[in-house]
Amino acid sequence: MRRLFIFLNNIIFLLIALFLFRLTFFLKYSDITGINFKDVLLAFCVGLRFDLATAGYILTPVTLLFFIPFISEREKYLKITSLLSLLWLNLIIIFLFVDLNYYQFSQRHLTFEISNTMGDIPSIVKSGFREYFPEMLSLFFCMAVYSYGYLFAIKKIFIRTPAGQPRLLKDICVYGAVLLIIGSSTVVMARGGIQRLPLNLSDAYVGNSSYLGNLALNGAYTSLRTLYSLQFKDKLWWDIQYYPFEEAVEKGQKMMISPEREELLSPGYPIYRHYRYNAGEFKPLNVVIFMMESWTAKYISAFGGKEDATPYFSSLCKDGVILENLFANGQRSAEGISATLASIPVWGGMIVPINPSLSQMPVKFLPSILLDEGYNTIYIHGGKRDSLGLAGFIKQAGFTTHIAKEDIEKAGGRDDGFWGIYDEDTFQYAQKIFEEQKQPFFSVIYSLSSHTPYKVPEEKFKFYGKDVPHRDFLNSLRYSDYALSRFFEKAKNSDYFKNTIFVIVADHVEGNSSHDNLFESFHIPGLIYAPFQLKPAVIKKPVTQADLTPTILDILHNSKPHASIGISAFDENKSGMGLLALGDLMVFVKDDWLLLSSVNDAKGLFNYKKNPSEDLSAGGPPKLNEMDQELHYYLQFVHDLILKNRLFLDARK
């Protein structure tokens, strides 16, 4: 039983250290005059969950030492192991101290820096003694007190649990029971609880405040998450270094910013800007974004599809602004919602809900910008509240209301038995919510019926027979289109309709049926429908999901600051361009061209308007070199903005 008590003692002392550093973080960095103590208390409670997850990871190395066969039950060995545990905890304290002081420079906890500075540790320590000598004296004093308390507790454990006479069968049973208890406890802690999905970085956000999110997090956890992503997922992203920062900034600004229409707000933040609209020009129109699950342009006639599985949507296109060449930034739902609301390309793991660096940065999402304008912000999805692991992200993004399966089901919504509520019922529920709103409001409605296994509520919605390829998907697409028609039947008779901008886009294409070429793999439908506000038009230049935030702000004539890594679809001064994620590869789109590339080497060049299947890269034509150079400028620009935390000026909003 000594091993169990020592394990619990290690957890308690680590939690004490993490709590004290969180308290110090709060006292050091909070603006007491503007603080909401209810939110702070909630952040501390959420922080305890992250601290337990940290303990699950960090204590694993020393915990394993307690279970080395034949020797781990010996008293002398356990005492030595306890001393090693104390040494390990003190190293964690030193790391937390570094993180605490690092925050004032970066406005985030340690992430990728730990892997980039291994060779500079002697210089960092030397600099620390010179610049932070009083603080380091305080640190060593606290470590001495901490160590004394730890050793006192360990001594009590050995006194109160004396070693008994060795009994083989009893010892084996106790060994197994303790191993099971500690092992299962460690797994539960590391996952952040017994919920369906593991703890995510975005779960730290009790609201849309970057500061409160960072208050709940700790540097040990964010560093561990980053080391994992560097090792297994996104290593190449952090190694990019093509051009000096100043050169990349100059090129990047020319790519993304129109001086005639936009004004930069701070020299140190290269894309922190606003539109040159006067305050009186702002149009407080409602905005509703339909994110249609797996909708694919090749099956929609308004976007060149030979088969029109969405006849109602195609009819709407006649009265709206068609984004003829809209590209999904990625191929997963989380990538689609992140790119759309944050206006950040998702290649290299730059998905806000899960990326350790972006999750801590003061990213100003579209809902947050409109929230500051007095909008109600509503996220509606027929899936479970934690579906896609986005529950924390939804708060972080600035949504004040989150409607999910649990809410719609109580109102009679039908469950499809797999993912959640059928689209028709979800959309009808949304319609009722909108009618009750005090305008203006902003909402995202996320569909799910066109997600595999492509369930439809009744046989009458099976429009396609067994002889049609991908019939199940096409049937679900046709049903989802029907659900959209039912929504607009009522919406057009509502009070809010004339004052609403409807944006209908997909989160990504359907994978099984859309892989004939690169263009097909990312080409999604996009429609801005506001017949009382916008004249019908067709925008032919390439647009990505990351361009939707600046496009919507442009439509509203909004002059509030934003830092979109995107371009308004209505900006005639700039070519359409963007970065699309394709596993470890990427696709750079500009004008009529798609460049397939790794970090270092171009893999293919395609003119998607002439022949999207013909690779024109053979022989290294001038266009290939031009696109390759622009891609590297783009990558360097975005890379430096994120790693240097130079997106948003104010880290507290």
| Chain mean pLDDT for the chain | 87
pLDDT, position 585: 82
Tokens of 123: 């210089």
Q: Rounded to an integer, what distance in angstroms lies between the CA atom of residue 270 and that of residue 636?
A: 13
Q: Rounded to an integer, what distance in angstroms lies between the CA atom of residue 451 and that of residue 455?
A: 8
pLDDT, position 32: 52
- The rounded percent of the chain whose pLDDT value lies above 90 is 59
Nearest CA to 531 out of 501, 552, 505 is that of 501
Q: Rounded to an integer, what distance in angstroms lies between the CA atom of residue 449 and that of residue 445?
A: 13
The residue ranking higher by pLDDT, 179 or 372, is 372
What SS3 state is found at 164? coil
Tokens of 595: 């460049």
Q: How many CB atoms neighbour CB 391 within 10 A?
A: 22
Q: At 107, which amino acid appears?
A: Q
Nearest CA to 627 out of 596, 583, 651, 582 is that of 596
What SS3 state is found at 650? coil
* Confidence band, pLDDT 50/70/90 cuts, at residue 362: confident
pLDDT, position 396: 85
- Reported as type and span, the H/E element at residue 551 is helix 548-555
Over range 94-101, report the average pLDDT.
Answer: 87
Nearest CA to 387 out of 357, 346, 356, 416 is that of 416
For CATH 3.40.720.10, list the domain ranges present in the chain: 256-643
Q: Rounded to an integer, what distance in angstroms lies between the CA atom of residue 88 and that of residue 425?
A: 54
**pLDDT exceeds 60 at position 652:** no
pLDDT, position 119: 44
Beta carbons of 359 and 111 less than 8 angstroms apart: no
* Confidence band, pLDDT 50/70/90 cuts, at residue 549: very high
For residue 465, list its beta bridge partners.
Answer: none
At 210-231, the pLDDT tens digits run: 678 889 999 898 888 766 655 5
At 370-400, the pLDDT tens digits run: 999 999 999 999 998 877 777 878 988 999 9
Q: Rounded to an integer, what distance in angstroms lies between the CA atom of residue 539 and that of residue 253?
A: 23
Cβ within 8 Å of residue 155, ≥6 positions away:
none
* Confidence band, pLDDT 50/70/90 cuts, at residue 126: low
**pLDDT exceeds 50 at position 236:** no
**What's the whole-model pTM score?**
0.78
- For 256-643, CATH number? 3.40.720.10
To the nearest 10°, report the CA torsion of 381, 200, 364, 408: 10
Over range 3-25, report the average pLDDT.
Answer: 92
Least confident of 123-127, 196-200, 292-296: 123-127
What SS3 state is found at 570? coil
pLDDT, position 98: 85
Nearest CA to 300 out of 510, 544, 592, 588 is that of 510
- Which DSSP category does 47 fall into? H
pLDDT, position 371: 95
Least confident of 24-28, 54-58, 110-114, 241-245: 110-114
To the nearest 10°, report the CA torsion of 603, 249, 593, 621: -60
Q: Rounded to an integer, what distance in angstroms lies between the CA atom of residue 112 and that of residue 114?
A: 5
At 617-640, the pLDDT tens digits run: 998 899 999 999 999 999 999 888
Tokens of 453: 């296994």
Least confident of 24-33, 48-57, 133-142: 24-33
pLDDT, position 128: 63
At 462-496, the pLDDT tens digits run: 999 989 999 999 999 999 999 999 999 999 999 99
Over range 493-516, report the average pLDDT.
Answer: 93
